[in-house]
Amino acid sequence: MTYLNFVRENIKNLVSYRAARESAQEHSQVLLDANELPFNTGYNRYPLTVNRRLKEAASRRWSLGSVEYLEDIQSDNVFISNGSDEAIDLLIRVFCEPGINNIASVSPTYGMYKVLSAINNVEYRELKLSEDFDFSSNDLLEICDSNTSLIFICSPNNPTGNLFNKEQIIKLAQNFRGVVVVDEAYIDFSGDPGLIPQIINFSNLVVLRTMSKSRGMAGIRLGFAYARKEIVDILERVKYPYNVNSMSQDLALKSLNESFCYEVDIIINERERLARSLLKIPSVLRVFRSDTNFLLVKFRDSKAIFEKLQKNSIIVRDRGKEQGCSNCLRITVGKPQENNLLLSVLSNETIPEINCVSTIVRVTNETGISLKLFKSDTLNPQIFTGIGFFDHMLNLLSFHSGLAAEIDVKGDLYIDAHHTIEDVAIVYGEALKKHISKLKGFNRYGFVLPMDESIAEVVLDICRRGYLKWDVKLSAEKMGEFPAEMLEHFFYSLAINAGIALHIRAEGKNNHHIAECIFKSVGRALRIAFSNDIDVYEVPSTKGVL
């Protein structure tokens, strides 16, 4: 293992700091070792210095589309870092003697390799990628010398977006005396399983993964380095004792225990749609192939396009100064509605006025929900709860109410649908209440809606006192993955948190139709109730507009 020769002498002789809690046993009850406040605040104790459960979860599975067990990968092959950047910095500090060793990589690529090399006073060498943003292992090895201790490869690459040839990377590991670090931050958008299994075959290979991209957890700053135990042990000795906080560890463990992230498929489909649509725009010269959640786009005048987008509150990344990226912007693939807005601006179309009336973010142990309501009949609802039938019903409610909803939910569906449905109702109700508080006047109203053999009657009163009267019978236990018993609970939680009195009566033979009638009717009743235009709706109320 010649790569170990590059470990700095002071690191080899390092006596690492031993955190107080390392001496505690799992059954220890009285913790008087770390000078913490003994009163429980939820976070009064220091986080685990080495989270074995998280390491085991990261070693067992990673694939987002299905559970993928990584054969022969053990928890000892996993290092937990404060984002991938910490792992990159530690690898440089371990394997590079400042002023002596150097690092090799390609250009353009992720900028932190070069920045962290400069911070650590380590020479950084770059191989220019070809016109199609590719490289050969032989060319990269030619810029290395006897003092080159690290090679960094970002695959799929940032900002170019392409997945590099796996055989070329393996040749690097076979022929390089130092350590080859492969940064796979975007691998889940490529359809490729990546190189983690190869660390068994190559002792000098390190593979980086992150919770920031496909897992949608950039805010927790947590990443992983997969490597032979010898490298992981060195990184554990050099890191700060409590490098990752308790909340980040808990959230990462919860995410890794979920076997599927449907959002990745949405982003991949949107990436391909966006690429095709961009090619039809006259100001676009080229859209480079992407295996990531972003597109590198070459424009006739990227500066003018950048400023135009900025004026329309759309922020993209200018990569025009990068090697081979003249007049290029890097565009992250957003939600369908966001991508449509981008395309409208680039196509010089008239942009409809968007009025956001409510924004609510709620995070609990069971769910994380972001909900926005827009007063618009032109925006399409964008709803992702992970429950197909529920998404469909919420789309109907949103469309018919005239308040376009944008709802993102990450819930504990691996247990059941209860918390997701309940918490969406709570947040939706809070958003409606927030909207009501801004209204200068509004109606009270009801609505009757037939659908095939079913019919629903809804009477709604914005009285600021939550109440639900429910007269609905369903014959099935489930509608798709939606438990039928949760239908009443949804509207109860919605009414209580919105501060409205809601009377719902419905009947029919088809449960789907009954539910659809109810959601549409509630939406129409809300649309009328939130209006203060009596002439349009002819409100049958002695009090008229409140």
Q: Report how far residue 25's alpha carbon sits from residue 231's, in angstroms, rounded to the nearest whole number.
A: 26
Q: Report how far residue 105's alpha carbon sits from residue 116's, in angstroms, rounded to the nearest whole number.
A: 13
Beta-carbon contacts of 56 under 8 Å, excluding residues fewer than 6 positions away, are: 75
* 23: in domain: no
Give me the domain span that covers residue 95.
Answer: 51-255
Per the CB < 8 A criterion, the answer to whether 545 and 536 are in contact is no
User: pLDDT by residue (tens digit) across 345-355?
Assistant: 999 987 766 77
List the one residue out of 198, 213, 80 whose CA is nearest residue 156: 213
3-state secondary structure of 413: coil
Identify the pLDDT of residue 536.
45
Among all chains, which residue has been given the structure tokens 């002596």?
100
Q: What is the mean pLDDT of the chain?
A: 90
Beta-carbon contacts of 172 under 8 Å, excluding residues fewer than 6 positions away, are: 137, 140, 141, 151, 153, 180
| Residue that finishes a domain, picked among 346, 370, 386 | 346
DSSP state of 155: S
Do residues 77 and 219 both lie within one domain? yes
Identify the pLDDT of residue 153.
98
Q: What angle do CA 147, 151, 155 make, to 5 degrees?
A: 175
Instruction: Kindly list the distances between the CA atom of residue 80 and the CA atoms of 164, 241, 264, 339, in Å, as whole numbers in the listed order.
Output: 25, 12, 23, 34
In percent, how much of the chain has pLDDT > 90? 72
Judged against a pLDDT cut of 60, whether residue 66 lies above it is answered with: no
* 451: in domain: yes
3-state secondary structure of 148: strand
Per the CB < 8 A criterion, the answer to whether 430 and 498 are in contact is yes
Identify the pLDDT of residue 182.
98
Q: Count how many domains the chain has.
A: 3
For the segment 54-63, the average pLDDT, to the nearest whole number, is: 79
* 221: in domain: yes
Q: List the CATH number of the domain containing 404.
A: 3.30.230.40
Q: Report how far residue 95's alpha carbon sits from residue 102's, in angstroms, rounded to the nearest whole number.
A: 10
For the segment 48-55, the average pLDDT, to the nearest whole number, is: 90
Give me the DSSP letters along 300-319.
SSHHHHHHHHHHTT---EE-
For the segment 189-215, the average pLDDT, to the nearest whole number, is: 94
Do residues 139 and 210 both lie within one domain? yes
Per the CB < 8 A criterion, the answer to whether 447 and 402 are in contact is no
User: pLDDT by residue (tens digit) across 443-482?
Assistant: 767 889 888 899 999 999 888 889 999 999 999 999 999 9
Among all chains, which residue has been given the structure tokens 């006047």?
441
Do residues 105 and 149 both lie within one domain? yes
The tokens for 33 are 């070792």
Identify the pLDDT of residue 544.
46
Residue 368: left (phi > 0), alpha (psi -120 to 50), or beta? beta
Q: Residue 123: enclosing H or E segment and its boundaries?
A: strand 123-128
* 11: in domain: no
DSSP state of 533: -
User: pLDDT by residue (tens digit) across 214-240?
Assistant: 988 999 999 999 999 999 999 999 999
User: pLDDT by residue (tens digit) across 520-529?
Assistant: 999 999 998 8
Q: Report how far residue 97's alpha carbon sits from residue 164's, in angstroms, rounded to the nearest whole number.
A: 29
* 15: in domain: no
Helices 388-401 and 511-529: angle between axes, nearest 10 degrees: 30
Per the CB < 8 A criterion, the answer to whether 20 and 48 are in contact is no
| Residue that finishes a domain, picked among 239, 255, 271 | 255
Pairing of strands 454-461, 467-472: unpaired
* 128: in domain: yes
Identify the pLDDT of residue 533.
63
Do residues 398 and 495 both lie within one domain? yes
CA dihedral 105, 108, 109, 113 (to 10 degrees): 60
Judged against a pLDDT cut of 50, whether residue 538 lies above it is answered with: no
Judged against a pLDDT cut of 90, whether residue 542 lies above it is answered with: no
Do residues 319 and 431 both lie within one domain? no
For the segment 133-159, the average pLDDT, to the nearest whole number, is: 98
Judged against a pLDDT cut of 50, whether residue 63 lies above it is answered with: no
Judged against a pLDDT cut of 90, whether residue 442 lies above it is answered with: no
| Banded model confidence at residue 262, pLDDT cuts 50, 70, 90 | confident
| Banded model confidence at residue 255, pLDDT cuts 50, 70, 90 | confident
**Beta-carbon count within 10 A of 103 CB:** 26
Per the CB < 8 A criterion, the answer to whether 136 and 167 are in contact is no
Per the CB < 8 A criterion, the answer to whether 451 and 507 are in contact is no
Do residues 404 and 324 both lie within one domain? no
User: Strands, DSSP E only, in 211-252?
Assistant: 223-226
For the segment 129-154, the average pLDDT, to the nearest whole number, is: 97
Judged against a pLDDT cut of 50, whether residue 172 lies above it is answered with: yes
User: pLDDT by residue (tens digit) across 316-330?
Assistant: 999 999 999 999 999
Do residues 206 and 290 both lie within one domain? no
Do residues 152 and 300 both lie within one domain? no
Do residues 311 and 441 both lie within one domain? no
Q: Report how far residue 505's alpha carbon sits from residue 276's, in angstroms, rounded to the nearest whole number.
A: 47
* 469: in domain: yes
| Banded model confidence at residue 534, pLDDT cuts 50, 70, 90 | low
CA 104 to chain centre: 31
Do residues 404 and 516 both lie within one domain? yes
Identify the pLDDT of residue 9.
92
List the one residue out of 214, 210, 212 whose CA is nearest residue 223: 210
β-sheet bridge partners, residue 79: 225
Q: List the CATH number of the domain containing 212.
A: 3.40.640.10
Judged against a pLDDT cut of 60, whether residue 269 lies above it is answered with: yes
Identify the pLDDT of residue 451.
86
Q: Report how far residue 387's alpha carbon sits from residue 366's, in angstroms, rounded to the nearest whole number.
A: 15
Among all chains, which residue has been given the structure tokens 């949608």?
216
What's the length of the chain?
A: 546
Q: Report how far residue 439's alpha carbon sits from residue 530's, in angstroms, rounded to the nearest whole number.
A: 8
**Cis ω on the peptide bond leading into residue 38 (within 30° of 0)?**
no
Q: Report how far residue 155's alpha carbon sits from residue 181's, in angstroms, rounded to the nearest whole number.
A: 10
The tokens for 538 are 């002819």
The tokens for 297 are 């786009």
Do residues 229 and 275 both lie within one domain? no
* 281: in domain: yes
Q: Report how far residue 347's alpha carbon sits from residue 106's, in angstroms, rounded to the nearest whole number.
A: 35
Judged against a pLDDT cut of 50, whether residue 64 lies above it is answered with: no
| Residue that finishes a domain, picked among 304, 325, 346 | 346
Per the CB < 8 A criterion, the answer to whether 122 and 155 are in contact is no
In percent, how much of the chain has pLDDT > 70? 92
User: pLDDT by residue (tens digit) across 429-439?
Assistant: 999 999 988 87
Do residues 360 and 229 both lie within one domain? no
